[in-house]
Amino acid sequence: MQTPLDFTKKAKDDLSVDFFDEKACRMAVLKMIHKEGPRCPRCDKAITSERGIVNFYELKRVFCKHCKKIFTALTGTVLNGMQIDLRTLYLLAVFLALKIERKEIARMLKIHTETVRLWEFKFKAFEGLDDMTVKSHFHDLQ
């Protein structure tokens, strides 16, 4: 018969990124970095078309009818060009906040321990920001 201790350890060992809903995690991150909803990173006009909004939150390309820019929800944000998906990123933030060991986080999220360490520093850097957009990167977006 299993003891309760074995059960909790086994439960913890079985936990992985796959237990978490991709959409829920993605939406949580996108709502955090876009508090005012979908906007064009170039002209700052709100995206109002139904298709534009859907595409925005699905990380697909969005077309701005005002300035004709094509972009995604990550364009012009500090998360642009990152190598991990938003679910992994979200859980990484949660697990770090819960003070879980880097090695355990890496195992659960199926990423390298070094990636966890790197993001730990990035999140610390984000703490000083008013928002997650990077105006200085705009020259790359034209």
> Can you read off the two tokens belonging to residue 91?
């859980």
- 86 lines the binding site for Zn ion (CB under 5 A): no
- Residue 37 CA to residue 48 CA, distance in Å, equals 10
Q: 63: which DSSP letter?
A: E
Select the residue interacting with Zn ion from 64, 73, 79, 93 (CB under 5 A).
64
Binding part of the chain for Zn ion, among 27-35, 48-56, 57-65, 77-85 by CB under 5 A, reads 57-65
Least distance from Zn ion to the Cβ atom of residue 80, Å:
16
Binding of Zn ion by 67 (CB under 5 A): yes
Q: How far is residue 60 from each of residues 63, 69, 78, 88, 90, measured CA to CA in Å?
A: 10, 13, 18, 18, 19
The token duo for 80 is 């642009």
Using an 8 Å Cβ cutoff, are 102 and 115 in contact?
Answer: no
Q: Contact between 40 and Zn ion (CB under 5 A)?
A: yes
Q: Assess 42 for contact with Zn ion (CB under 5 A).
A: yes
Measured from the CB of residue 108, what is the shortest distance to Zn ion in angstroms? 39
> Which residues of this protein are in contact with Zn ion, per CB under 5 A?
40, 42-43, 64, 66-67, 69
